[in-house]
Amino acid sequence: MRITAIRKASYAATRIVQNASKAAATTTGGAVGASIQRKELEFPRAVSKEEAPYIQPAKETSKESLMPWRGWIERLLRDKMSPEKFDAAKGYFYFWPEDPNNLHQVPYPDTRTIVSKDGKESASYREISPGSQPIVDVPLDDLDADPYDTGYFKRDTRRRYIDPEFPHPDVEQLKLDMQDPNDPEVQEAKKQLAIGPASSPGNKSQFATGPSDFDPTGLRAVMAVNNEELFKSLDKHMPDHLPTPTWQAHEEELFKWYKDRGLPVPIGGNVNLVSTKRRIAMW
């Protein structure tokens, strides 16, 4: 009792100090903010710690390049050469001439990437700050699901048929159908396959403390687990779709690119290209 009372008193004192500190910070911040006149910078530059309170933050990132000398050789050659010769020379010397990021994994701050099919909408790198993003709601379960039911074995479909005691019934049936139907061992195997595994019958929710009905399936308690309900749960979580390659959505465009150049069409598409979504950082 004494330890509990000390913890409660300590918690109450901590909350009082925190609330008083927040109130003092709000009052002081309001007075300082009202007395200081902030001014915007004429051009982007580094700001020291002492002058930071007197500078008005910019509403948007500067669109003026801080490295104007970047790409001066390309601009000079583009100005002195015809478009055909420049594209030919660029395709000869550059590893990936069409790369908008110039082989940089992180785009330049002033690079705007087209995100719409009509070419009218674009977005720049880290255009939306984390503070402006809404709270992400990622539903993991249904609304009526029990958050404390964390058993994985009842939905582990990947390792369902690895155990030799629980083989795939369709595969085992095909094996038996291809053998001699008059063989006594084959007939006995067919009967055993129809019955199913006899292990793990479960205790039918009859525990040492008495019967329990908190879980009708019997998959919440180890002693109540049975194969019949386990197979029903695994059937419920079995994947019902086939995976498709990433290039299938634009396979006609991919085939046309090789046919127009007289090249044999390879198996599958090129997955080394960086997608449009990956060029724009996600906070």
Residue 211 has phi, psi (to 5 degrees) of: -70, 150
CA dihedral for 143, 145, 146, 148, sign (positive or negative): negative
- The three-class DSSP label of residue 282 is coil
Question: How confident is the model over 121-137, as pLDDT tens digits?
Answer: 887 766 565 656 677 77
Does 236 have pLDDT greater than 80?
A: yes
Q: In whole angstroms, give the CA distance from residue 107 to residue 125.
A: 7
Residue 62's pLDDT is what? 66
Question: Is the separation of the CB atoms in 130 and 282 below 8 Å?
Answer: no
Q: Quick one: which of 195, 213, 197 has its CA closest to 205?
A: 213
The per-residue pLDDT for range 23-76, each reduced to its tens digit, is 544 444 444 445 678 888 877 778 888 888 888 877 666 667 777 887 888 889
pLDDT at residue 16 in the model: 52
| pLDDT, mean of residues 109-128 | 76
Which residue type does 150 have? T
Q: Is the pLDDT of residue 11 over 60?
A: no
Region 91-108 average pLDDT: 80
Q: Indicate the burial class of 51 (C-beta count within 10 angstroms; 0-12, 13-18, 19 or more).
A: exposed
**Which tokens hold the place of 48?**
């020291």
Mean pLDDT of the chain: 77
Residue 19: strand pairing partners:
none
Residue bearing the bigger pLDDT, 60 or 239: 239
Q: Determine the pLDDT at residue 21.
A: 44
Q: Is 39 helix (H, G, I), strand (E, B) or coil?
A: strand
Query: What pLDDT, on the 0 to 100 scale, is given for residue 126?
Result: 62
Q: What's the rounded Cα separation, in Å, for the pair 166 and 156?
A: 13
Between the two ends of the chain, the Cα-to-Cα distance in Å is 47
**Lowest mean pLDDT: which of 39-43, 108-112, 182-186, 213-217?**
108-112
Helix (H) or strand (E) holding 206: strand 206-207
DSSP state of 114: E
What is the chain's alpha carbon radius of gyration, rounded to the nearest angstrom?
Answer: 34
pLDDT, tens digit (0-9, with 9 covering 90-100), for 155-209:
898 888 887 777 888 888 888 899 998 999 988 888 888 877 777 778 888 888 8
Identify the pLDDT of residue 189.
Answer: 87
d(CA 134, CA 157): 35
Q: Which residues of 82-101 are buried (b: 16+ CB within 10 A; e: fewer)?
A: eeeeeeeeeeeeeeeeeeee
Is a pLDDT exceeding 60 seen at residue 20? no
Residue 211: in which H helix or E strand, if any? strand 210-211
Token pair, residue 116, equals 């719409």
pLDDT for 268 beyond 50:
yes
